[in-house]
Amino acid sequence: MKIILTTSVLVITLINTSLAQYMQYPPTHKRAEEFVVAGNTLTDEYSWLENDNSTETKTWVETQNKVTENYMRKLDNRAAVKNRLQKLWNYEKLTAPTYKAGCEFYFKNNGMQNQSVLYMKGIDGKEKLVLDPNALAADGTASITTFGISKNAKYLAYALAKAGSDWTDIYTIDLSTMKTLSKVLNWTKFTSIAWRGDAGFYYCKYNAPKDNGKTFTEANEGHKIFYYNLKTPTTDGSLVYENTKAPKRTFGADITDDEKWVMIYESESTSGNALYLKSTSNSTLPLITISNNFDNDWSVIHNTPTTLYLSTNYKAPNKQVISFDIVTKKTKIVIADKGQLLEVVSGNKNTLLLSYLDNVKSQAYVYNYEGKQLQQLQMPEVCQLASANANEITGNYSMEINTFTAPTAIYNYDVKNNKLSATFIPKCNFNADEYVTEQIFVPVDGAKIPVFLVHKKGIELNGTNPCFLFGYGGFSSHYAPEFRVDRCVFLEQGGVYAVAGIRGGDEYGEEWHKAGIKLQKKNCFNDFIAVANYLCDNKYTNHESLAIHGRSNGGLLIGAVMTMEPTLAKVAIPTVGVLDMLKFHKFTIGYLWTSDYGCADNKEEYEYIKSYSPYHNLKNITYPATLITTGDHDDRVVPAHSFKFAARLQELNTSENPTLIRIDVNAGHGSGKPISKQIDEYTDIWSFVMHNLGMKFK
């Protein structure tokens, strides 16, 4: 990289009419640096912000946060919003139990604990505390990302993240004494934990990063699967699988019930995986290949000594269930593609529980292993079956069910009696009965975009209603009904909450996903713009009363939309967004996203990607009131995306609308963020939204 110019400029000071007396941005200097993309030499004036560990970047972060805090503390509704959020958040929360050897394992939160606490119930039915992450970090930023239980429930291994990073360390607890064993496995990331008996477990790790100050930004390579034996605690274990010819691939490991085979998942992107079986008793035996390419998704649901049952989108864009004979290597369709996305699959020794998306709403059924439908579950009309855990002993399933207006509830499904019973209904300080959820479909280029709308019953939709439109549109993901407690503040103030199921997600299966990737990526943005215009044209809201929001890939969505259509909304909230589309693949695991985005290094994709890259399409024009949010430890979508976008937006925005960045300290991409930090963040987001939409907190 060649430095060709060094200048220092004072970013234009903008004034919000009502906050003119204190609205001023810090200076951000420019240092134009050359880089080459697809044979094109470009300059980046803010690339120095990519070094998040430098003194000048840290100083920039501190000064930007001071400006944002100075703005926020002047907002009249901020204290009231925070007070209401604290009351809303303060309810008991529970997860559906995971079963092992007659024991139950689950997380519980008494309401305002920063992290949920891991408990177990033994065969005697008595509850025991396994691990309280709140005791591991005073600020609540230590979180459990995954855990695995040994075959006879003698041990539990868990991965612990700190300060929101994707890097984790694995610890092991003796469940008879609740003592933590001495050995810690470091530098694990995106790991599974699969026990073989009570002796040890399979896990995934990288080599330790170089000591160069780029632990949270440098590209991650060399993922490996190890087997760690508790009897040899001085090592990280024995290497089970790696691919030195393709160091950017990632892996996952699981084990069959009879423990004869390790199931090895290999991926080179976020879509599609290879799948192999490796003998646990004879390492010289060749791998058994189920799939050796990355064209489709393969996931094992259940297994017998000779047969695997899998869900896959191979020749089935909405997924199907097949069987794989380990001896003959032959496959057979068990439950064919139904034309609706197969979303959740769980199985025990006698039955399969399958949940399909019907216009982004869950419908669940029970089948046997011959593919016969036994029964349909009677669930709420507009809901999402978020998870289902099989109980091998009883044959029943424990499930989490979500709606837009009530917190996650836990249900037990009695298969024999076809009975769904609530076992835990949270009591939140929000009256769900006062609100309604409806669904509309917005036509765009022959497609119909599903949109959920949530608002008070009987509200007059006259075109003046404040509206908060959320979207994602990527990576075969979707947003079915789910409870976001922070949204309650907006709903209580008369707002309309909208969720757009735009292309690029998997609301309608793989074809819907493919319609919004690579050289079709702009379909995502055009869908979202069309939904916003539809809401305004049909008097749900108007452009001056509209706020738009997305996070991660959804942050890209908001960045692209606000640069394509700057007057579409009054407020824009791009959160932890992918905003520099020419460089995203150069940081941490960004290269995995090329399956959706393509790569600017490819000449045939360069111009298209550059044409919508938010950072590169900012101009000297009017932009909406914008609050960019990120975390200083985000090593998934590195904060440089947000830093550079904020600097350039502050430089170029000609309007009086505020353009602020909020950088959470000791926080990452979002997973594991403590409740106290979540409340602080959403206090600022909703205070910012309400102020700039002209809403008064009542």
pLDDT tens, residue by residue, 378-413: 999 999 999 999 999 999 999 999 999 999 999 999
Mean pLDDT for 208-236 is: 91
Residue 669 among the catalytic residues: yes
What is the C-alpha to C-alpha distance for residues 288 and 301, in angstroms, rounded to an integer?
18
Kindly indicate the confidence band of residue 16, based on its pLDDT and cuts at 50, 70 and 90.
Answer: very low
What is the C-alpha to C-alpha distance for residues 78 and 75, in angstroms, rounded to an integer?
6
Using the predicted structure, report yes or no on whether residue 8 has a pLDDT greater than 90. no
The whole-chain average pLDDT of the chain stands at 95
Which pLDDT does position 2 carry in this prediction?
A: 34
Kindly indicate the confidence band of residue 213, based on its pLDDT and cuts at 50, 70 and 90.
Answer: confident
Q: Are strands 168-174 and 155-162 parallel, antiparallel or unpaired?
A: antiparallel
Which pLDDT does position 276 carry in this prediction?
A: 98
Which pLDDT does position 17 carry in this prediction?
A: 40
DSSP 8-state assignment for residue 602: S
Q: Are strands 320-325 and 93-94 parallel, antiparallel or unpaired?
A: unpaired
Which distant-in-sequence residues (6+ apart) come within 8 Å of 484 by Cβ? none
Q: Are strands 142-149 and 155-162 parallel, antiparallel or unpaired?
A: antiparallel
Using the predicted structure, report yes or no on whether residue 24 has a pLDDT greater than 90. no
Using the predicted structure, report yes or no on whether residue 21 has a pLDDT greater than 90. no
Which pLDDT does position 4 carry in this prediction?
A: 35
Q: Are strands 362-368 and 373-376 parallel, antiparallel or unpaired?
A: antiparallel
Which pLDDT does position 27 carry in this prediction?
A: 84
Which pLDDT does position 26 carry in this prediction?
A: 87
Using the predicted structure, report yes or no on whether residue 14 has a pLDDT greater than 80. no
Residue 552 among the catalytic residues: yes
Mean pLDDT for 44-64 is: 96
The candidate with the shortest Cα–Cα distance to 394, out of 344, 353, 348, is 348
The candidate with the shortest Cα–Cα distance to 413, out of 488, 487, 362, 357, is 362
What is the C-alpha to C-alpha distance for residues 548 and 628, in angstroms, rounded to an integer?
12
What is the C-alpha to C-alpha distance for residues 491 and 381, in angstroms, rounded to an integer?
21
Kindly indicate the confidence band of residue 13, based on its pLDDT and cuts at 50, 70 and 90.
Answer: very low
571, 545 contact by CB (below 8 A): no
Using the predicted structure, report yes or no on whether residue 108 has a pLDDT greater than 80. yes
Q: What share of the chain is helix, strand, coil (3-state, %, to 5)?
A: 20, 35, 45
Which distant-in-sequence residues (6+ apart) come within 8 Å of 149 by Cβ? 98, 100, 101, 103, 105, 155, 156, 195
Rounded to 10 degrees, the C-alpha dihedral 529/533/536/540 comes to -60
Using the predicted structure, report yes or no on whether residue 426 has a pLDDT greater than 90. yes
Using the predicted structure, report yes or no on whether residue 22 has a pLDDT greater than 50. no
Which distant-in-sequence residues (6+ apart) come within 8 Å of 83 by Cβ? none
What is the C-alpha to C-alpha distance for residues 7 and 149, in angstroms, rounded to an integer?
57
Percent of the chain with pLDDT over 90: 94
What is the C-alpha to C-alpha distance for residues 425 and 385, in angstroms, rounded to an integer?
15
pTM, two decimal places:
0.95
Give the three-state DSSP class for 133.
Answer: helix
Which pLDDT does position 23 carry in this prediction?
A: 63
573, 629 contact by CB (below 8 A): yes
Q: How confident is the model over 357-370, as pLDDT tens digits? A: 999 999 999 999 99
Which pLDDT does position 235 carry in this prediction?
A: 84
Rounded to 10 degrees, the C-alpha dihedral 283/285/286/290 comes to -90
Which pLDDT does position 211 carry in this prediction?
A: 83
Question: One of 595, 669, 687, 691 is an active-site residue; which one?
Answer: 669
Question: One of 271, 355, 387, 552 is an active-site residue; which one?
Answer: 552
Which pLDDT does position 617 carry in this prediction?
A: 98
